[in-house]
């Protein structure tokens, strides 16, 4: 067997969320070459220490394998996984949207809540939101008075992690009306309502012919809300979820409905930092796709002072591996494919295969 020089390393689940192992693949020959019993850095480091000829290590963005490779193979070039880079950047924009939800609600005109227009379930949500807002205000006031985190925890009874999130602006709670199974049918319901069809039972029967599988109560609740909103001379504006807003802001305008286009335009006009964050993430993903580092330094300076600064800081900490991922052809995608094959073999044995048998089937007959 020829010693590998380019490898991919990743973890795989013996039992999800309970026990994990490590798989190591020869990326040049496209085959699995080792299965380790756990994913501890020390175990990976021990295996890598005997493979001094390895020149490139493709890995995920976790710190465990990076540490093991740095200790065992200081001369080897580490390559971050491009799929994880794209996924991490998308998640960073989603986090930016979540941090901006309060400003988003104000921008689309849903900052004022009339409890009379809420359903019973939404009133419970609203009461919880008010309690969280009061707790946040107390924590912030104590911090402004010069109290340490330890003192705030002692006085309020909240956990240290929660207090830190509030002080860092990471618990920006926002109330939004509850999503339901009716959301995909709201446009049709609005058309029927405008046409004068306002009997909830009739709407429910007709809606079932359009694929709705919910009960009559859901439609009746919607009709009641609609009548109350009309009596109050203004409907309760629904704030989409952060995930929905992130999707609407990152897909092509030609794929949006008129209402969605208006919502996105209101957010762009009212929350400029979020537009800046979207442009920063788009620029990073373009660099990855085009495999170009020409604008990387400028991008980094811009990202460090934006809503996605935490993502930029993570890139800085792993900059050498990120640069290699953008410019080099190697990535850990092939390793993910080998994990899929390993799972298939494992399931063929009804999950009872131990490490030696898995090695015999996956490596011995690869």
CA–CA separation, 50 and 72 (whole Å) = 8
Task: Look up the domain containing 296 and give its range.
Answer: 83-110+240-318
- Angle, nearest 10°, between helix axes 319-327 and 309-317? 90
pLDDT bucket at 362, cuts 50 / 70 / 90: confident
Instruction: Answer whether 327's CB lies under 8 Å from 293's CB.
Output: yes
pLDDT bucket at 2, cuts 50 / 70 / 90: confident
Name the least confident of 146-150, 231-235, 323-327. 231-235
Instruction: Please report, for the domain that includes residue 24, its CATH number.
Output: 3.30.420.10
Q: Per mean pLDDT, which of 92-101, 167-176, 239-248 is the most reliable?
A: 92-101
**Per-residue pLDDT at 10 exceeds 60:** yes
333 - beta bridge partners?
none
Residues 104 and 167 in one domain: no
Any domain includes 267: yes
Residues 245 and 309 in one domain: yes
User: Average pLDDT over the chain, rounded to whole?
Assistant: 85
User: What does the pLDDT read at residue 114?
Assistant: 59
Percent of the chain residues past pLDDT 90, beyond the cut: 39
Query: How many structural domains comprise the chain?
Result: 4
User: What does the pLDDT read at residue 236?
Assistant: 42
Instruction: Please report, for the domain that includes residue 172, its CATH number.
Output: 1.10.10
Any domain includes 323: no
70 token code pair: 């740095």
Which of the listed residues 178, 194, 225 is the one where a domain comes to its end? 178
Residues 142 and 291 in one domain: no
Residues 202 and 262 in one domain: no
**Per-residue pLDDT at 124 exceeds 50:** yes
What torsion do the CA atoms of 138, 142, 143, 146 make, to the nearest 10 degrees? 170
pLDDT bucket at 121, cuts 50 / 70 / 90: low
Percent of the chain residues past pLDDT 70, beyond the cut: 89
User: What does the pLDDT read at residue 24?
Assistant: 93
Render the burial of 305-339: b for 16+ CB within 10 Å, e for the rest.
ebbbeebbebbeebeebbbbbbeeebbbebbbebb
Q: Could you report the per-residue pLDDT of 64-119, keeping only the tens digit for each? A: 899 999 999 999 999 999 999 999 999 999 999 988 888 888 888 655 565 665 66
Which of the listed residues 213, 238, 263 is the one where a domain comes to its end? 238
Any domain includes 228: yes
Any domain includes 36: yes
CA–CA separation, 259 and 237 (whole Å) = 12
Q: Could you report the per-residue pLDDT of 308-360, keeping only the tens digit for each? A: 999 999 999 999 999 999 999 998 888 999 999 998 888 888 767 788 888 88
Residues 246 and 106 in one domain: yes
Residues 75 and 14 in one domain: yes
Residues 105 and 245 in one domain: yes
43 token code pair: 């175990």
Q: Per mean pLDDT, which of 147-151, 154-158, 219-223, 274-278 is the most reliable?
A: 274-278
Any domain includes 1: no
Name the least confident of 9-23, 183-197, 268-282. 183-197
Q: What is the mean pLDDT of residues 159-184?
A: 70
User: What does the pLDDT read at residue 71?
Assistant: 93
Residues 293 and 343 in one domain: no
Q: How many helices (H) and strands (E) does the chain have?
A: 18, 5
Any domain includes 219: yes
Residue 351 DSSP SS3: coil
User: What does the pLDDT read at residue 115?
Assistant: 63
Q: Could you report the per-residue pLDDT of 26-63, keeping only the tens digit for each? A: 999 999 999 999 999 999 999 999 999 999 999 988 78
Any domain includes 90: yes
What phi-psi label fits residue 35: left (phi over 0), alpha (psi between -120 and 50 degrees) or beta? Answer: beta
Name the least confident of 110-119, 128-137, 229-238. 229-238
pLDDT bucket at 253, cuts 50 / 70 / 90: confident
User: What does the pLDDT read at residue 56?
Assistant: 94
Residues 159 and 195 in one domain: no
User: What does the pLDDT read at residue 82?
Assistant: 92
The DSSP output letter for 118 is S
Q: In Å, how far are 17, 300, 308 from 314, measured between CA atoms?
A: 24, 11, 10
User: What does the pLDDT read at residue 235?
Assistant: 41
pLDDT bucket at 229, cuts 50 / 70 / 90: low
**Per-residue pLDDT at 175 exceeds 60:** no
CA–CA separation, 137 and 135 (whole Å) = 5
Residues 190 and 204 in one domain: yes
pLDDT bucket at 129, cuts 50 / 70 / 90: confident
pTM of the model: 0.67
Which of the listed residues 138, 156, 178 is the one where a domain comes to its end? 178
Any domain includes 324: no
**Per-residue pLDDT at 261 exceeds 80:** yes
Residues 259 and 304 in one domain: yes
Residues 296 and 253 in one domain: yes
Neighbours of 167 (CB within 10 A): 16
């Amino acid at each position: 067997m020829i010693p590998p020089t380019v490898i991919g390393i990743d973890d795989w689940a013996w039992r999800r969320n309970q026990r994990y192992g490590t798989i190591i693949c020869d990326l040049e020959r496209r085959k699995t070459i080792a299965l380790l019993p756990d994913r501890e850095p020390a175990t990976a480091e021990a295996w890598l220490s005997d493979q001094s000829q390895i020149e490139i290590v493709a890995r995920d963005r976790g710190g465990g394998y990076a540490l093991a490779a740095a200790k065992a193979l200081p001369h080897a070039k580490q390559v971050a996984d491009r799929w994880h880079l794209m996924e991490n950047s998308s998640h960073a924009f989603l986090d930016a949207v979540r941090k901006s939800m309060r400003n988003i609600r104000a921008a689309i005109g849903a900052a004022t809540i009339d409890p009379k227009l809420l359903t019973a379930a939404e009133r419970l949500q609203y009461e919880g939101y008010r309690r969280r807002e009061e707790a946040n205000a107390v924590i912030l006031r104590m911090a402004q008075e010069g109290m340490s985190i330890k003192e705030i925890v002692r006085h309020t009874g909240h956990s240290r992690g929660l207090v830190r999130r509030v002080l860092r602006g990471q618990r920006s709670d926002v109330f939004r009306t509850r999503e339901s199974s009716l959301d995909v049918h709201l446009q049709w319901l609005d058309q029927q309502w405008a046409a004068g069809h306002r009997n909830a039972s009739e709407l429910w029967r007709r809606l079932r012919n359009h694929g709705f599988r919910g009960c009559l109560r859901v439609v009746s609740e919607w009709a009641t809300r609609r009548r109350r909103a009309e009596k109050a001379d203004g409907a309760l504006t629904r704030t989409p979820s952060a995930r929905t807003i992130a999707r609407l802001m990152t897909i092509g305008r030609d794929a949006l409905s008129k209402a969605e286009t208006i919502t996105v335009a209101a957010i762009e006009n009212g929350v400029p930092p979020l537009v800046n964050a979207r442009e920063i993430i788009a620029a990073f993903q373009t660099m990855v796709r085009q495999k170009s580092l020409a604008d990387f330094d400028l991008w980094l300076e811009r990202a460090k002072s934006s809503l996605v600064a935490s993502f930029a800081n993570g890139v800085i900490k792993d900059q050498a591996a990120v640069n290699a991922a953008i410019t080099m052809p190697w990535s850990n995608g092939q390793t993910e494919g080998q994990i899929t094959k390993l799972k298939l073999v494992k399931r063929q044995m009804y999950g009872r295969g131990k490490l030696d048998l898995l090695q015999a089937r996956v490596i011995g007959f690869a």
